[in-house]
Amino acid sequence: MIKLVICGALLVHGIGHVLFLAPTLRLAAWADQTGQSWLAEQLIGDGAARLLGAAAWTLAMVLFVAAAFGAYLDTDWWQPAAAVGAVVSLVAIVAFWTGIYTASAVFALAFDVVVLVVLVAARWQGFQLAGN
């Protein structure tokens, strides 16, 4: 049962990054999101910042979805995929904080931190997550 909860949470969180991707690519607008980056835009301009943001949101999405399937299949690479996805997501959330919906950003940020803490604790304590 815990395996399905972990897989489901990783999958839903991964897919949820589309909520940040669509406004960044100007494909959709909701909750007053602009998809702009307070950090990257100042350094590389709006177009390049949006491209970088789109790449980050897509990478986080792919890594979390892959981690969900990897955990379900009990692979040895799902935990690194989830960890890298969480780090990419955290960095993107911070860099795009002013252009994304705050409530969603807070939830996603908290989830990313929980993923990292649980993965580190599991490795430190030596137990297996989502194993058979």
118: left (phi over 0), alpha (psi -120 to 50) or beta: alpha
d(CA 78, CA 100): 28
For 31-40, the pLDDT digits (tens) are: 888 899 999 9
pLDDT band of 130, cuts 50, 70, 90:
low
What's the mean pLDDT when you consider all of the chain? 92
Asked if 130 and 4 touch (Cβ cutoff 8 Å), the reply is no
d(CA 61, CA 16): 8
d(CA 102, CA 93): 10
Q: Is the pLDDT of residue 119 over 90?
A: yes
Phi and psi torsions of 22, nearest 5°: -60, -50
Residue 55 is predicted with a pLDDT of 98
pLDDT band of 132, cuts 50, 70, 90:
very low
For 64-108, the pLDDT digits (tens) are: 999 999 999 999 999 999 999 999 999 999 999 999 999 999 999
Q: What is the C-alpha R_g of the chain?
A: 15
- Residue of 54, 65, 56 lying closest to 22 (CA atoms): 54
Q: Give me the percent of the chain exceeding a pLDDT of 90.
A: 78
